[in-house]
Structure 1
Amino acid sequence: MSSDIRPVFPEEQALIAHIIGKPAIFDDKSVWASDNRYYVDGKSFSVPVSRFSNCDATAIASKLQSLGIIPNTGTSDVIAFEKALIAYRDGIQYQKFHQHVQTFIAANQLRLSFIEDEAFSFVKQSAESFPRENLVVSFSGGKDSTVTADLVIRALSDPGILHIFGNTTLEFPLTIQYAARFHNEYPYTPFKNAINKDQNFYEVCKDIGPPARMMRWCCSMFKTGPITRILNNRFLQEKILTFYGIRKCESVSRSKYNRIEDNAESVKIQKQTVASPIFFWKDIDIWLYLLGRNVDFNDAYRLGYDRVGCWCCPNNNARAQFLSRIYMSEQSELWRQFLIDFSKSIGKPDAEVYVDSGKWKARQGGNGVASSKDVKITSTNCTAEENAKIYQLNQAVNDEFINMFIPFGLISKEMGRKLINETIILDKRSRMPILSIQPFSQADYEYAVKIKTLTVKDPDKLHRMVKYQIRKFNACRKCLKCESLCAHGAISITANSYRINPDKCKQCKMCVTAKYLDGGCLMNKYLKTKE
């Protein structure tokens, strides 16, 4: 069997049996799966992706209701849904499953002891360099973070490690239920919910378009950013160690990580060093630990989901989308209709095919999106002054705009010429003026600003970084990426403002360096268009 194999729970067995037209085929069988290939008592068969696409999700849901897996009250009733799962689990349907699981655990007891002992040693060794109060567990409600949380608490014999649950507002309802259950099971474990209450997912999608495989702005806005806020409030400028459920085999990008990672280009939240106790584990190891140590886990896995991130994630495969049409029919139809309406708005000729074929997931850039104009920097050279440029803005120069220049140095309005409302930026070390900023009237622009470099060796380099702040001012959607990027907690973003604290800013310039933030603003990636 493949090392990325997983057990197939009776709820999913019932679903697959109906899909292939053999309702009782798995009643006394041992069933495992790897992607769309299923292993029944060691013999394999596959369920093509096309089968999922062609199935009648409504009819399948009706059959599952008759089995008691889905409540007749409707899939939106999460409590009734969970009660139905528990009743099904307690019934005769699980007897054979438990027998097969016990055989699996007994056959792999040495493997379980080895991976557990090795992970314990890694956790203890990683934690030695940090105060116990500076340890954090990143909790997503998925199987990997569940195992990581259990390993850390047991290895350190300390239930007092802070757990942060990144509630993206796009979680499976069963994930929210499981997070609450985990919190109740570990009453002495500090448990914080990180949630972005300033943004609405659908409203942002209307503005900049839905996330796609290569453009998942939602991760920064609804997960990393809110977690950063909790860390900044709790730890100020202290360094922390965060235990993540990252595994090398999950993706090409994760295979390039280190088991302990603090590289600024790899770590999404600069305040933290990331440690991954299960970095080398396979899927089968995860399930061996969960089942072998009788650890509670998210019930969504029992329904056949092999990952339980955001339910509408563009990285979800056709199988996961099919499951959501059954178990989250109302949300799925609402999302599908939104995607169709959006596709029409950007000029797709056959919007339904574009959406149902999954082509929307490959969308790149802001073509057809009205807000794409906000990331385009329009400027002209000032003919009257050397090293001066006039930049177009989409709103008037204000205090928030001037505040954007704190990463360059000290703001001095006193040194500027008052008649033209000039502001001077001083180099923090030499106190020499490096930038002149003044609101400007330009016939072609409704709003404009003239920025001139002063006494600097490389004015072009400085203007390039200035452009990044211009783009932020014009295009900022409060995605919270800048908050996560700042290791000093100097940047704070609310629904109405973007502010840099001059007392915290160290002028490291990471927020205006393409190496860490291409184009100076995350929106540049999501909204730029091909000329």
Structure 2
Amino acid sequence: MSEIEIFRKVMPELYWCPRCNVPVFDENCGKCNGFTIKVRVTPPGDVRPAFKKDIEDLRKTLYDYFTDWNIVDFMLPRNKFVLLNKIEYPDAADEIIVDGQILGHRFYDVEKRLWRFKPLYNGVAGILKLKTNYYAIVALPRIRRRFVVHKKHIVEAKLPSRKGEYVAISTEKGNLHGIAEYVGASRLRVLKAWRGRKFLKIDAEGDFKVAIEANKHRLENLENEAIDFIKKVVDRYNLPVIVSFSGGKDSLATFLLVEKALGKIPILFNDTGLELPETVEFVKEFAEKNGVELLVADAGKKFYEALEIMGPPARDYRWCCKVAKLSPIANLVNTKFPEGVLSFVGQRALESTRRALSPRVWRNRWLIKIVAASPIQYWTALDIWLYLFKEKIEANPLYFEGFDRLGCWLCPAVELGELEAVAEKHPELVKWWTDHLKKYAEEHGLGEAWVRFGFWRWRKLPGDQKRIAEKYGLKIEKDPRGAPIEVTSFKVEEGVPVRVYGKIEGLRRLEYFQNLLHILGQVDASTSLDEIMVKTSDSIFRIKPSGEFILSSKSRTWKKILLNILSIAFRASYCVKCGSCVSNCPKNAITYGGEGVLIDLDKCTKCGLCNFACPIAVYSLPKLNIFKLLQV
């Protein structure tokens, strides 16, 4: 099933009331009871309202395209209810909906490092109506995608001088419209075409008060269903209850619903060390104003410590979530709720395909004592905002300063366009991160483009990013990220027993390595650690301080044994005391030592759960040159 098909299963139909000029999730307006017009938004369709700062930013982007404020006022007046719909582009992009019509796309051009406007549908109709920049009337019976319009086809036009600009096009009869890219020499490459339409403009001024009334029945139904869901989940699990509170809009709505269902409930805030100061302050003030207990899962400096070992996090290398988010939460839950806890979270299906496919109640393998449940799983961002305004609740002020998403400000899931808002608010943070990335790129020969185009956000570049990288001559043979351990001089001698030879380069903290080996079997070592030996039921492993080792195994399980040993090497050598293994040990057999963790030999049952609960090991093992060989 494609991403679009997944989202279509969970996204509600969006309509627009032409009299009230507001969006409605029903075929009839809840305010005037009149008919509505269907708005065909691009999946995922998680529409959100544009606030004052958003509209000013949109108008500036339109001005950069039209270079005429009168045209901007015509296309996007300040007094309209505007929706934004996040869509798939190489970077940040939104569908702009005004008067119930799609005006076009606002997207961040990573090569030019600026926001651009791409007119579509009603935007194209408006350009053709005004005959302003840029447009072309063509003497063709039809226009279609990828077709190149030549000068001989154009009967009337106002064309740009620069390649890459967008041009509205129409057949002479106006029965077909489209958008094209100017490719030079009076030629246009058609990007998209559709049936022609007249420019639609509604005089009525919509606002939030009207939108709330127009959607009152949906909001009531959503609230009642969510409260009923909360009560049923509480009865089912019979656990202490908390609300996971990030300081964002979704967790705020979740708190309100839980409060209505259950009364005052503690809130849990995960301070990753990467939250913007405004968010930290908002959470503290919210807890004080509402008289609720605030539990803080504080990661301290763990992210920064792990960063020096692991390198920058990436979308396909998210060690940061385990170190700065999941481990601190697990540690707090183990202390405060040793028997487990039920956490209501602000997860929504339209945020990603993974969340769209997620059950409404679940457990995370890294948070084994938490049952998570989402009362707002099938709400849109617009539902959330209408509900918050209806309840007259103050939201995080960052939303009204151009921020769409909150949380870790340098999350690898962030788009470069979204980082612009952070740079505007906290330039010192973005400067620090950019300087760090430049230093890392220089040390590992990754090139300036790796930083400039945000390629650091992936270990393996996706197709659209790969095309940009190739354009600028960037080719990464092997991503260098991960703790600096490697296996060299590797050799396998088949037979009975199988003998495996090699050297673990980068191994350190041998006393911790020796201690952790106890999870595999009986460990013998000289007092000077000249050689460490561990015996399992069918294998013997010997290693010297230099890292040179011999593994003798009577069975084909030697791959699994060596993988466990290498995981222990990462854990011992580069532990940042995130606490993940401590939290995952069912026997409480792991404690903190001076530079790492230690196994209590009297409590350890050698279950091995801790060995692959370590984010340093889990995310570093795949970089080993023998990792694929060890896959069982």
Q: What TM-score do you get using the length of structure 2 for normalisation?
A: 0.64
Superposed, which structure 2 residues align to 1:312-461 within 5 Å? Answer: 312-349=410-447, 351=448, 353-364=449-460, 367=478, 369=480, 373-376=484-487, 386=497, 392-393=503-504, 394-395=506-507, 398-408=510-520, 440=544, 446-448=546-548, 458=557, 461=560
DSSP 3-state at the match of 1:254: helix
Larger Rg over CA atoms: 2
Corresponding residue number in structure 1 for 2:166: none
Mark the CA change 1:370 to 1:474 in structure 2 (over 3 Å): closer, same or farther: same
| Cα distance in structure 2, aligned partners of 1:43 and 1:494 | 62
Identify the match of residue 250 of structure 1 among 330, 351, 354: 351
Q: How many residues align?
A: 466
2:300 corresponds to 1:197: yes
Give unmatched runs, 5+ long, in structure 1.
58-96, 428-432
Mark the CA change 1:372 to 1:419 in structure 2 (over 3 Å): closer, same or farther: closer
2:244 corresponds to 1:138: yes
Identify the match of residue 341 of structure 2 among 240, 247, 252: 240
> Hey, which of these two has a bigger chunk of helix by percent?
1
Deviation (angstroms), 1:179:
0.9
2:272 corresponds to 1:168: yes
Mark the CA change 1:490 to 1:278 in structure 2 (over 3 Å): closer, same or farther: farther
Deviation (angstroms), 1:420:
8.8
Superposed, which structure 2 residues align to 1:57-68 within 5 Å? Answer: none
Corresponding residue number in structure 2 for 1:15: 57
Whether the 8 Å CA contact 1:213–1:314 is kept in 2: the answer is yes
> Hey, which of these two has a bigger chunk of strand by percent?
2
Deviation (angstroms), 1:477:
4.8
Deviation (angstroms), 1:38:
2.3
Taking every aligned residue pair, what percent have the same amino acid on both sides?
Answer: 25
2:624 corresponds to 1:496: no
DSSP 3-state at the match of 1:333: helix
Letter of the 2:313 counterpart: P
Mark the CA change 1:527 to 1:224 in structure 2 (over 3 Å): closer, same or farther: farther
Mark the CA change 1:326 to 1:462 in structure 2 (over 3 Å): closer, same or farther: closer
| Cα distance in structure 1, aligned partners of 2:544 and 2:434 | 46
Deviation (angstroms), 1:216:
1.8
Whether the 8 Å CA contact 2:568–2:611 is kept in 1: the answer is yes
Mark the CA change 1:424 to 1:222 in structure 2 (over 3 Å): closer, same or farther: same
DSSP 3-state at the match of 1:280: coil
Whether the 8 Å CA contact 1:53–1:322 is kept in 2: the answer is no
Mark the CA change 1:459 to 1:170 in structure 2 (over 3 Å): closer, same or farther: closer
Mark the CA change 1:518 to 1:326 in structure 2 (over 3 Å): closer, same or farther: closer
Letter of the 1:292 counterpart: K
Whether the 8 Å CA contact 2:574–2:616 is kept in 1: the answer is no
Mark the CA change 1:366 to 1:324 in structure 2 (over 3 Å): closer, same or farther: farther
Deviations 1:239-277 (A, max 9, x none): 322222222221122223211113xxx533122222121
Deviation (angstroms), 1:166:
0.8
Identify which of structures 1 and 2 has the higher relative contact order when contacts are C-alpha pairs closer than 8 Å and 6+ apart: 1
Give me the CA root mean square deviation: 4.0
Give unmatched runs, 5+ long, in structure 2.
1-13, 15-40, 64-68, 87-93, 116-203, 461-475
Mark the CA change 1:425 to 1:363 in structure 2 (over 3 Å): closer, same or farther: closer
Corresponding residue number in structure 2 for 1:214: 316
Deviation (angstroms), 1:200:
5.1
Superposed, which structure 2 residues align to 1:81-100 within 5 Å? Answer: 100=207
Letter of the 2:408 counterpart: C
Mark the CA change 1:309 to 1:489 in structure 2 (over 3 Å): closer, same or farther: farther
2:216 corresponds to 1:115: no
Letter of the 1:356 counterpart: R
| Cα distance in structure 2, aligned partners of 1:403 and 1:98 | 70
